[in-house]
Amino acid sequence: MRQITSVLGLLNLSVFLKSHLFLLPVLYLFYTSCGITLADFFLIQGLSSLTCLLLDVPMGYVADRVSKKKILILSNLVLVLRFLLLYFFPTKPIIFLGEILYAFVIVSFVGTGDSYIYELLKTKNKTVAMLKRYGRLYFWISIGTSISSLTGAYIYGHLGAKMIILLTIIFTSISTLLLFFIPDIDVKPNKNLVTMRQKYISIYAEVRRAFRKREFINLIVFSAFLTATYQIFMWSMQPVMKVAMVPVTLFGVVFFLNHMARASGSFFAHKILKKFNLVKLGWIVYFGFILSFFAMMFIGENTPLVLTLFLLVFVCLMISLQVTWLISAIARIHEISTSKNRALSASVNSMTGRLLTAVCLILSKFILDGNPLSVNLLIFLILFLPSAFILKKWKV
């Protein structure tokens, strides 16, 4: 286990550096300076999520034929390319292209990262530690994003966008170098690999199979609701803070707290699930998200700064519980799946979440063209409410 610990430590350090996205807490401010409207901002995120969905199966197909280590390295290199383009050509077309590239980065990492951990643990018969190790990985991702959020907004306010983009390129480049030192565990190619067409047929069959089982339906659909709702909160925070005239430096503080809360949700997931089962935790997140919608809608031009920050911190805390639930749901999917359909089941789960997220964010474009952000939030609050029926029918 010592060797596994050192390998995972190196992987965690790499993703920690890669997650230093200094531009994230002021992304909306940077994009608007390049001619992006609020409606365009949500459209971009929706198209990014849709691209993730479209790339999910092809990326999984490639990952079966190319080592996971190489996919992780490629993911990092594409991220470097994205920020190089933004550094030299900060224009509206490049912003759209950059989000497409970032969608590739997300898809190539998410499925590959957890698979690499699982296969590594499997070499030592330590797969029971999957939830803990998976949680630790996303803990370090959240920590890295938290630190860069806190510092990124400050640097943006004092030195501008060029500097924080350059810092991101440096951190991601170092992260990429570290990946060359992790072992490649896919040394024996599988001679029975399916074609792309067979992959789609398998996923279609897995979707049908999954939706015949009540627990799969509950896990996948409620996960999708939480994922899409989180994305609405995530991309609404910066426009809300701009309306409330929150100082730019505090943008970083809010995003720091958001990602620290997510880090805590990841780190303590395995402990929280010892006290709450998925249904009980689901109800807590459900009512917490309803209150979060009202908190976001309450914030306006005349809201005192202290109250604005208090409400945003509350939303961040609810998001931490959402992360705990999602990680626990993924672990549960691994448990109830067989070795033949484990990867496909996880893909169905992520694809459902991405599909609903893409629909919601793209729909926001048309809502926001003639309405304030509060109307957008109200509409999605109404759409979120029916998710209670999933929890109500869920028997543990």
How much is the pLDDT for 281?
86
pLDDT in tens, 214-250: 778 888 889 999 999 999 998 999 999 999 999 998 9
Give the C-alpha separation, 135 to 380, whole Å: 29
| Domain layout of the chain by residue ranges | 11-182+212-393
Q: Is the pLDDT of residue 395 over 70?
A: no
pLDDT at 134: 67
Confidence grade of residue 204 (pLDDT, cut at 50, 70, 90):
confident
Highest mean pLDDT among 12-21, 179-188, 213-222: 12-21
Counted residue by residue, the chain has a size of 396
> CB neighbours of 148 closer than 8 A, spacing ≥ 6?
19, 20, 21, 22, 24, 168, 171
What is this structure's pTM?
A: 0.81
Task: Indicate if the pLDDT at residue 355 is higher than 70.
Answer: yes
Mean residue pLDDT of the chain comes to: 85
- What distances in angstroms separate CA 324 from CA 1, 202, 316, one per listed residue? 26, 29, 13
- Cβ-contact 269, 135 below 8 angstroms: yes
Q: Report the pLDDT averaged over residues 49-68.
A: 79
Domain spanning 11-182+212-393, CATH architecture? Up-down Bundle (1.20)
Confidence of residue 23 (pLDDT cuts 50, 70, 90): very high
Among 351, 348, 339, 328, residue whose Cα is nearest residue 119: 339
Burial class (CB in 10 A: 0-12, 13-18, 19+), 212: exposed
Which of 2-16, 157-171, 188-202 has the lowest average pLDDT?
A: 188-202
Residues 296-342: pLDDT tens digits?
999 988 899 999 999 999 999 998 888 888 888 877 777 776 655 66
Q: Which two tokens stand for residue 74?
A: 């490629």
Identify which of 181, 151, 144, 106 has the alpha carbon closest to the alpha carbon of residue 18.
144
**224, 194, 197: which is closest to 356 by C-alpha?**
224
